[in-house]
């Protein structure tokens, strides 16, 4: 539904409101007269194609004011508000000018999603940039698309070198919107292989030699915030044009694909359905000894418990895995549902 549709549907109500003289300014000025003050339409609020480069710059500026999560959210929502207007005008978002002033004067401003900073209040769990971006996506599109795009954005995050070349260029050439840079150097890149703030920041610090409290690390996360917000709208643009599958796919790592033949969200506990997820398993589970310990795998496939040899064990697991893939694929073709479409 676009703005005109919203306006049409609210015309009748607004007449009554004007007679009552009780109109309250919640929305953009030119629209205020035509709408009931407390009318918040149900989600989704709709999406129109956005310019990823504009959103990248807003994300970087947003980071300076609200950090990663609030910054990514503010960037996408600000672009949507400019493009679509109502109902995005209902959100409590400071304007670009207000944000620039606050950054210049080091004043504190609030936006939704800012709790996600540093993986939720600095706890370093889920990186705030995808957290904020996915929250923005949540307003714009249907539920299935929200879950699909969010999942693909996280997977893209895992394997992408940050900060992007283009963000480095913007910083070096002073093309971002911030009044004063934390650093305008071209910063080293690293791939997190994880969606965790903890891993993402730690790997970058080790790769670059900068401390976690350095202004370079902060700048890196600012550029990353722009990069993630930009990719989120690129995915939404592709989705709008029916091209999401061309632009983004889950393309899980080989290990994750193998592990998930047994370990996924499912009902066969014995087989390994006591976990869930699409993350890169190997970023945390490097010790595969459990699979050659005294357990069902060993009994079923005869791996020697006493002689631990990493390669052999993982190889065995992979072998077993590919054997089971065939069964799994057949099950899926028989109508089993994909994760995300069932109870979460
Ligand atoms: C062929 C099926 C299969 C594959 C493939 C598989 N697992 Fe397992 N895994 C199991 C089963 C079954 C258990 C439970 C063993 C038991 O407790 O007896 C298990 C146990 C585990 C455990 C718990 C071990 C413990 O200490 O209890 C972890 C962690 C694990 N798997 C991780 C992985 C990862 C990571 C991968 C991919 C690299 C993987 N598994 C691949 C079937 C599999
Ligand atoms: C961010 C780190 C991380 C990632 C990524 C990760 N895991 Fe885990 N996983 C853990 C931790 C920590 C536990 C809890 C281990 C424990 O209690 O001993 C766990 C538990 C498990 C268990 C149950 C272990 C048990 O004791 O029975 C399985 C099976 C498992 N993970 C498989 C996977 C698979 C498959 C993937 C990839 C799809 C994956 N994990 C990705 C950290 C991770």
Kindly give the distance from the C-alpha atom of residue 289 to the centroid of ligand 1, in angstroms, as a whole number: 9
Once rounded to an integer, what is the mean pLDDT over residues 286-314? Answer: 46
User: Which has the higher per-residue pLDDT, 324 or 157?
Assistant: 157
Kindly give the distance from the C-alpha atom of residue 247 to the centroid of ligand 2, in angstroms, as a whole number: 29
The number of the ligand 1 atom at minimal distance from the alpha carbon of 282 is 35
- pLDDT tens figures, 219-255: 999 999 999 999 999 999 999 999 999 999 889 999 9
Measured CA distances, 89 to 25, 64, 81, 259, 329 (Å): 11, 22, 6, 45, 46
Element (H, E) at 162: strand 161-162
Kindly give the distance from the C-alpha atom of residue 93 to the centroid of ligand 2, in angstroms, as a whole number: 38
- Return the pLDDT at 12: 40
- Based on the fold, state whether residues 61 and 179 are members of the same structural domain: yes
Kindly give the distance from the C-alpha atom of residue 198 to the centroid of ligand 1, in angstroms, as a whole number: 25
Residue 31 scores a pLDDT above 60? no
Measured CA distances, 105 to 40, 70, 71, 180 (Å): 34, 19, 17, 11
Which residues neighbour 125 within 8 Å (Cβ) at sequence distance 6 or greater?
119, 196, 197, 198
- Tokens standing for residue 48: 């129109």
- Based on the fold, state whether residues 275 and 236 are members of the same structural domain: no
- Based on the fold, state whether residues 132 and 206 are members of the same structural domain: yes
- Based on the fold, state whether residues 235 and 263 are members of the same structural domain: no
Rounded Cα distance between 201 and 84, Å, is 35
- Structural domain boundaries, residue 235: 52-247
Q: Kindly state whether residue 342 falls inside one of the protein's structural domains.
A: no
Which ligand sits nearest to residue 324's alpha carbon? 1
- Based on the fold, state whether residues 110 and 201 are members of the same structural domain: yes
Residue of minimum CA distance from atom 21 in ligand 1: 290
pTM of the model: 0.83
pLDDT band at 286 (very low <50, low <70, confident <90, very high): confident
The number of the ligand 2 atom at minimal distance from the alpha carbon of 278 is 38
Please report, rounded to a whole number, the percentage of residues in the chain having pLDDT higher than 70.
73
Which ligand sits nearest to residue 258's alpha carbon? 1
Look over the chain and give the mean of its residue pLDDT values, rounded to a whole number.
82
If DSSP codes are grouped into helix, strand and coil, which group holds residue 126? strand
Q: Please tell me if the CB atom of residue 256 comes closer than 6 angstroms to any atom of ligand 2.
A: yes
- Based on the fold, state whether residues 235 and 285 are members of the same structural domain: no
Rounded Cα distance between 158 and 26, Å, is 39
DSSP state of 338: P
Residue 128 scores a pLDDT above 80? yes
Residue 288 scores a pLDDT above 90? no
Residue of minimum CA distance from atom 19 in ligand 1: 272
Which ligand sits nearest to residue 269's alpha carbon? 1
pLDDT band at 35 (very low <50, low <70, confident <90, very high): low
- Based on the fold, state whether residues 209 and 175 are members of the same structural domain: yes
Q: Kindly state whether residue 344 falls inside one of the protein's structural domains.
A: no
Which ligand sits nearest to residue 275's alpha carbon? 2
- Return the pLDDT at 23: 38
- Based on the fold, state whether residues 143 and 92 are members of the same structural domain: yes
- Return the pLDDT at 291: 74
Which residue, of 202, 220, 247, is where some domain finishes? Answer: 247
Kindly give the distance from the C-alpha atom of residue 285 to the centroid of ligand 2, in angstroms, as a whole number: 7
Which residue, of 247, 265, 286, is where some domain finishes? Answer: 247
- Based on the fold, state whether residues 243 and 287 are members of the same structural domain: no
- Return the pLDDT at 185: 97
Kindly give the distance from the C-alpha atom of residue 292 to the centroid of ligand 1, in angstroms, as a whole number: 10
Lowest mean pLDDT among 156-160, 218-222, 267-271, 306-310: 306-310
Q: Kindly state whether residue 42 falls inside one of the protein's structural domains.
A: no
- Return the pLDDT at 343: 56
Residue 334 scores a pLDDT above 70? no
The domain tally of the chain equals 3
- Return the pLDDT at 326: 35
Q: Please tell me if the CB atom of residue 320 comes closer than 6 angstroms to any atom of ligand 1.
A: yes
Residue 299 scores a pLDDT above 90? no
Beta-bridged to residue 196, according to DSSP, are 126
């Amino acid at each position: 539904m676009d703005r005109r549709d919203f306006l049409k549907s609210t015309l009748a109500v607004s007449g009554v409101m004007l007679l009552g003289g009780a109109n309250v300014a919640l929305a953009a000025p030119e629209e205020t007269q035509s709408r009931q003050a407390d009318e918040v339409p149900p989600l989704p609020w709709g999406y129109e194609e956005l310019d990823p480069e504009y959103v990248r710059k807003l994300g970087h500026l947003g980071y300076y004011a609200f950090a990663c999560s609030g910054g990514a959210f503010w960037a996408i929502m600000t672009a949507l508000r400019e493009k679509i207007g109502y109902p995005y005008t209902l959100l409590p978002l400071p304007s670009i000018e207000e944000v620039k002033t606050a950054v210049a004067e080091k004043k504190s401003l609030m936006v939704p999603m800012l709790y996600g900073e540093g993986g939720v209040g600095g706890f370093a769990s889920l990186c705030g940039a995808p957290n904020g971006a996915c929250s923005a996506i949540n307003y714009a599109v249907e539920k299935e698309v929200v879950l699909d795009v969010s999942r693909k954005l996280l997977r893209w995050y895992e394997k992408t070198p940050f900060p992007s070349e283009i963000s480095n260029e913007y910083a070096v050439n002073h093309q971002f919107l911030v009044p004063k840079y934390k650093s305008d150097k071209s910063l080293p890149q690293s791939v997190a292989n994880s969606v965790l703030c903890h891993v993402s920041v730690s790997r970058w610090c080790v790769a670059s030699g900068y401390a976690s409290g350095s202004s370079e690390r902060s700048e890196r996360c600012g550029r990353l915030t722009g990069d993630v917000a930009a990719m989120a709208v690129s995915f939404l643009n592709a989705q709008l044009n029916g091209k999401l599958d061309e632009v983004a796919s889950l393309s899980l790592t080989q290990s994750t694909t193998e592990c998930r033949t047994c370990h996924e969200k499912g009902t066969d506990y014995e087989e390994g359905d006591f976990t869930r997820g699409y993350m890169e398993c190997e970023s945390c589970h490097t010790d595969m000894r459990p699979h050659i310990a005294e357990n069902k795998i060993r009994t079923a496939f005869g791996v020697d418990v006493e002689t631990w040899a990493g390669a052999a064990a993982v190889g065995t697991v992979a072998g077993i895995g590919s054997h089971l893939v065939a069964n799994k694929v057949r099950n899926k073709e028989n109508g089993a549902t994909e994760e995300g479409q069932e109870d979460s």
